[in-house]
């Protein structure tokens, strides 16, 4: 019995030594990373850093974290953030975010994000590069404000990013229940009173190939850039408005996409009016698109629904042979 007790005490001392050594290494790694970013010209601050969770976990709590990248104008700050991991392996991190306001900005744009029970579960590959194998961001009720008013809100949010067999390929899924556009968006889009306050459906399923894997260099150097996008399904349903899209595009070094996207839309005339109201389409382009879509919808037998292909080439989007505007640049900054 005494022999067993001695073995247990020895194992406890070894485990305690490991826990404290690993905890020190994690704290040192976090503080060194902030110092390295500050040396590169970033604002990289926090008020305090503490470790708890003995004996099974490491919980590193940073109060008052603030990051700002002068090269991109992006900045983020929060009251606190915690990084939790099993004591046996720090490569499985859980980031928990404060339920109080987080402030996100880039150049002259400012957003305030408030979310309940927001967390990000990260599975990282072993090694110094800390490549992302899997990330799942979940949240309870959330709200994004801009200019003092609600911009977007929702009841739940699930965003997943899973690495494929090719290390530079990732599968993305987005699901948002109770997705609610704010008053500013409804006013800008001139949404009618007939539309419900919330979207019935908002889903995205896509596979993206980047020019390199996502790892620590994405924060320290530059973001990986998309090379190709396989949009398996994007679906929005808002009252009588329904939009579905799928297709594939390749992306060159300047972020210009080339490919085709198949779009199915119900009540498409109202969508065109909203796109024109927000400035996404010029009046001339909207008029041309309405004539062409009206013809296609008539051929399909339902004047309120269309099934068309959008062609992206040479920096423009075309509805068949009819150009309708410039294509967006797919560049992550």
CA neighbours within 13 Å on the CB side: how many for 170?
A: 23
C-alpha–C-alpha distance, residues 65 and 67, integer Å: 7
Residues 6+ apart with CB under 8 A from 191: 181, 185, 274
C-alpha–C-alpha distance, residues 84 and 62, integer Å: 11
Q: Are 311 and 249 in contact (CB under 8 A)?
A: no
What's this model's pTM, rounded to 2 decimal places? Answer: 0.83
Q: Are 212 and 223 in contact (CB under 8 A)?
A: no
Per-residue pLDDT tens digits of the chain, which is 333 residues long? 677 777 777 777 888 888 999 889 889 989 998 998 899 889 999 999 999 999 899 999 999 999 998 887 889 999 999 999 998 888 899 999 999 999 999 877 889 999 999 999 999 888 778 889 999 999 999 999 987 778 889 999 999 999 999 999 999 999 999 888 887 667 655 555 567 778 888 899 999 999 999 998 887 788 899 999 999 999 998 888 888 999 999 999 899 999 999 988 888 787 777 777 666 667 777 777 777 777 777 666 677 888 888 999 989 988 767 777 888 899 887
Both tokens of 111, joined, read: 């957003």
Q: Are 325 and 278 in contact (CB under 8 A)?
A: no
Question: Beta strands 169-177 and 201-210: pairing type?
Answer: antiparallel
Residues 6+ apart with CB under 8 A from 4: none
DSSP conformation class of 40:
T
Burial class (CB in 10 A: 0-12, 13-18, 19+), 166: exposed
Both tokens of 155, joined, read: 């009841």
**Containing H/E element for 58?**
strand 57-63
Question: Beta strands 92-97 and 80-86: pairing type?
Answer: antiparallel
Residues 6+ apart with CB under 8 A from 300: 306, 307
How are the residues of the chain apportioned to helix, strand and coil, as percentages rounded to the nearest 5?
25, 45, 30
Query: E strands along 211-281, which residues?
Result: 226-238, 241-251, 257-266
């Amino acid at each position: 019995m005494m022999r067993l007790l001695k073995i247990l005490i020895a194992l406890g001392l070894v485990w305690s030594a490991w826990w404290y050594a690993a905890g020190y290494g994690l704290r040192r790694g976090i503080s060194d990373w902030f110092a390295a970013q500050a040396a590169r010209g970033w604002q990289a601050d926090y008020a305090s850093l503490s470790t708890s969770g003995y004996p099974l976990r490491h919980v590193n709590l940073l109060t008052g974290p603030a990051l700002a990248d002068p090269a991109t104008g992006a900045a983020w700050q929060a009251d606190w953030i915690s990084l939790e991991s099993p004591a046996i392996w720090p490569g499985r991190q859980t980031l928990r975010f404060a339920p109080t306001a987080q402030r996100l900005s880039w150049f002259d744009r400012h957003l305030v994000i408030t979310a309940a029970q927001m967390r990000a579960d990260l599975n990282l590959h072993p090694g110094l590069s800390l490549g992302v194998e899997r990330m799942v961001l979940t949240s309870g009720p959330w709200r994004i404000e801009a200019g003092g008013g609600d911009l977007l809100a929702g009841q739940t949010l699930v965003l997943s990013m899973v690495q494929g067999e090719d290390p530079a390929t990732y599968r993305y899924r987005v699901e948002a229940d109770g997705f609610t556009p704010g008053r500013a968006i409804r006013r800008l889009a001139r949404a009618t009173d007939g539309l419900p306050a919330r979207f019935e459906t908002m889903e995205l399923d896509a596979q993206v190939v980047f020019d390199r894997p996502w790892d620590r260099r994405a924060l320290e150097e530059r973001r990986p850039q998309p090379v190709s996008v396989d949009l398996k399904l994007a679906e929005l349903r808002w009252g009588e408005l329904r939009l579905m899209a799928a297709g594939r595009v390749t992306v060159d070094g300047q972020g210009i996409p080339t490919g085709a996207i198949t779009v199915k839309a119900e009540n498409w005339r109202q969508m065109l009016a909203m796109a024109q109201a927000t400035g996404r389409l010029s009046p001339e382009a909207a008029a041309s698109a309405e004539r062409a879509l009206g013809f296609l919808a008539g051929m399909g037998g339902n004047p309120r629904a269309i099934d068309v292909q959008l062609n992206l080439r040479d920096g423009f989007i075309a509805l068949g042979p009819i150009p309708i505007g410039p294509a967006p640049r797919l560049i992550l900054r």
